[in-house]
């Protein structure tokens, strides 16, 4: 009886081992491409698009202009710190693989059935505003004055706020950091300053009359970095942006109430 049980047990173990091996051979590993790198969200690639470096361009400025985290732009083009680029150089706005990830398809080849479109007269609900990510900084208002233009998520023309003022009024750093861009090479921003506060956080100050800081200069929160103006704008004002991992966020979710 004992010998029969031993044989039966061995047969059962062998059967389970074979079944496990077959299951392993047919298992599928699903990887989410372009989702994160070191625990952070990776910028949305612009497949097939490149930019040509012009005199005066910086990696930070080009990344800012295209809504890409500077770390991703550097990695996609094999550029190491301190991120030196040269006039005439072509930079990819997508990973070196160069191919757009495949979209979902139906295995049988049958096209997916489209959902019934909503009535044309139905109002579209506003997109939900995500909860702000904690920055760890005590942000300060970059200028005195009324907010005359507000942030709108997904609107390329409203990626920050506009603060009305007068020519020559002080523009101040919103938090401690280092100046990574000081110039007028980004169309639509006029005389622009970009301050890097950490690897993930940047702030931008546009339409200045005069820039008072240079690239590589350390600045303190509340320090004057520019004079308000109307360069690239129709009136004297400051255009102010905060970006997290290259993506614009609503500055008023971070600035203190006033």
94-125: per-residue pLDDT in tens?
998 755 554 444 444 444 454 555 555 655 65
Q: What is the pLDDT of residues 233-244, one digit of tens each?
A: 999 999 999 999
pLDDT at 43: 87
Q: Which residue ranges form the domains of the chain, and what is each CATH number?
A: 39-92 (3.10.350.10), 147-253 (2.70.70.10)
pLDDT score, position 115: 53
List pLDDT tens digits, range 33-48: 334 455 577 888 999 9
pTM of structure: 0.71
Q: Which pLDDT tens digit goes with each residue over 191-226? A: 999 999 999 999 999 999 999 999 999 999 999 999
Q: What is the SS3 string spanning the chain?
A: CHHHHHHHHHHHHHHHHHHHHHHHHCCCCCCCCCCEECCEECCCCCCCCEEECCCCCCHHHHHHHCCCCHHHHHHHCCCCCCCCCCCCCEEECCCCCCCCCCCCCCCCCCCCCCCCCCCCCCCCCCCCCCCCCCCCCCCCCCCCCCEEECCCCCCCCCCCEEEECCCCCEEECCCCEEEEEEECCCCCCCEEEEEECCCCEEEEEEEEEEECCCCCCEECCCCEEEEEECCCCCCCEEEEEEEECCEEECHHHCCCCC
| Residue 21: predicted pLDDT | 42
């Amino acid at each position: 009886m004992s010998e029969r049980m031993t044989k039966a047990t061995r047969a059962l173990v062998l059967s389970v081992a074979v079944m496990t091996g077959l299951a392993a051979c047919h298992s599928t590993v699903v990887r989410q491409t372009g989702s994160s790198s070191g625990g952070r969200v990776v910028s949305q690639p612009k497949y097939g698009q490149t930019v040509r470096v012009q005199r005066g361009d910086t990696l930070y400025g080009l990344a800012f202009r295209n809504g890409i985290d500077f770390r991703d732009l550097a990695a996609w083009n094999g550029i190491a710190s301190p991120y030196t680029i040269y006039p005439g150089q072509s930079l990819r706005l997508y990973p070196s693989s160069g191919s757009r990830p495949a979209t979902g398809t139906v295995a049988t080849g049958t096209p997916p059935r489209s959902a019934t479109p909503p009535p044309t007269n139905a109002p579209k609900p506003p997109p939900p505003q995500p909860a702000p990510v904690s920055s760890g900084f005590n942000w300060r208002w970059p200028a005195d004055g009324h907010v005359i233009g507000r942030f709108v998520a997904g609107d390329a023309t409203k990626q920050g706020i506009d603060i009305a003022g007068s020519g020559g009024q002080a523009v101040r750093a919103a938090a401690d950091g280092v100046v990574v861009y000081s110039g007028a090479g980004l169309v639509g921003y006029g005389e622009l300053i970009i301050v890097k506060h950490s690897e993930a956080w940047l702030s931008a100050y546009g339409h200045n009359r005069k820039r008072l800081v240079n690239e590589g200069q350390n600045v303190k929160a509340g320090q004057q970095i520019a004079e308000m103006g109307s360069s690239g704008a129709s009136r004297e004002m400051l255009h102010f942006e905060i970006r997290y991992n290259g993506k614009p966020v609503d500055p008023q979710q971070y600035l203190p109430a006033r």
